[in-house]
Amino acid sequence: MPDTSPGEIHVGGQAVMEGVMMRSPSSLAIVCRTAAGELVVKEQAWRSIWEKVRFLRWPFFRGAVVLMESLLNGMSALSFSAKIQMTGQPEAPDAAEEGEAGEPGEEKAPSMWGVILLSTLLAAGLFVGLPHALTALMGFSSSSVGFHLVDGLIKATIFVGYVAAIGLMEDIRRVFQYHGAEHKAIFAHESGKGMTLDNARAQTRFHPRCGTSFLFIVILTSILIFAVTLRFTLADNRFLDHLLKIFIKLPLLFPVAGLSYEALKLSARFRTNPLVRALMAPGLWLQRITTREPTDDQLEVALLAIEKTLWREQLDPQVETPDKTVEVFPSFEEARAVLG
């Protein structure tokens, strides 16, 4: 049995449709509630690519790895939760397991990669190409620090506006509630005081390691890196110069992600430092948009997701266990009784 106590095991997560996905070092668990109130619990063994390619876990490399793996896991979890909500049948996930996207060698994997590619291109256009183009139209020199400051401000404005706009949709508001439940459950886990509803309910919904805070750090880091690396004119033609710099910004997002990830880890480690608290504040403010106070039934889902992912962490490595399971429970109490 591992000698690490549950509270010391790092857990991260993501809200999905009527559910929460949680991931620990060795496990990925998704818990969704059906329209009938039943809880569908999926758990599978998980390993980061850096377990095989060791240098990818080095500082400044691991940020890009975490970003890509989070995107893949998130898309797969969203696909799983969407199937449950669309069919309304708790038995649907068992049938879906035969061709679920995101797992090597399965028929639907190429379609998942297509969705990820399209999403990446749209995000690059919206948060890289559009801000650069708008800043260029304002007449700023693309080699000046001022250009990248304005570019970053436009990125932040687009991001905040986009999140605020989608938050007006009822389905997204519920996802934001599950986002809040995810944070409260993680805080309950990290507190070491027990994975109870009372403990989770008492926690704040604003977490320093949230992806919202990470994206804010990415914007700040991109201003710094772009201002340093794109100080020179690349072409005499102004249009071509801007176009080349937009394309150069895309591969530069990998070192931006790497530096941002290290900054996020340091900020979480030293979050009581007044200077760090001041730098973290904008990201936490943004979480007032991307999270909502959850209901108790939503907290139940998040707590169960953490407990299920920690289940594999506490297993005796000598005991053979299935790589993947999907279970359905009529209530939170029964799920805890069985899984506990």
pLDDT tens-digit profile of 203-222? 999 988 888 888 888 888 88
Give the total residue count for the chain: 340
Identify the pLDDT of residue 114: 67
DSSP 88: -
Please give the residue that has the higher pLDDT: either 108 or 322: 322
Q: Taking the model in full, what pTM does it have?
A: 0.84
The CB-based long-range contact list for 249-256 (8 Å cut-off, 24+ gap) reads 249/128, 249/132, 249/222, 250/124, 250/128, 252/222, 252/225, 252/226, 253/128, 253/222, 254/64, 255/60, 255/64, 255/225, 256/218, 256/221, 256/222, 256/225
The pLDDT confidence band at residue 262, using thresholds 50, 70 and 90, is: confident
295-314 pLDDT tens trace: 999 999 999 999 999 988 88
- Rounded Cα distance, 330 and 13, in Å: 23
Structural contact between residues 57 and 65, judged by C-beta atoms closer than 8 angstroms:
yes
Q: Which of 307, 293, 300, 318 is nearest to 173 (CA)?
A: 293
- pLDDT-derived band at 15 (thresholds 50, 70, 90) equals very high
Residues 51 and 117: their CA atoms lie apart, in Å, by 25
Q: What's the whole-number average pLDDT of the chain?
A: 83
CB atoms within 10 A of CB 140: 16
Select, from the ranges 20-34, 239-253, 268-282, the one with the highest average predicted confidence (pLDDT): 20-34
Beta pairing partners, 15: 20
User: In sequence order, what are the residues at sequence separation of 6 or more whose Cβ sits closer than 8 angstroms to the Cβ of residue 60?
Assistant: 255, 258, 259, 262
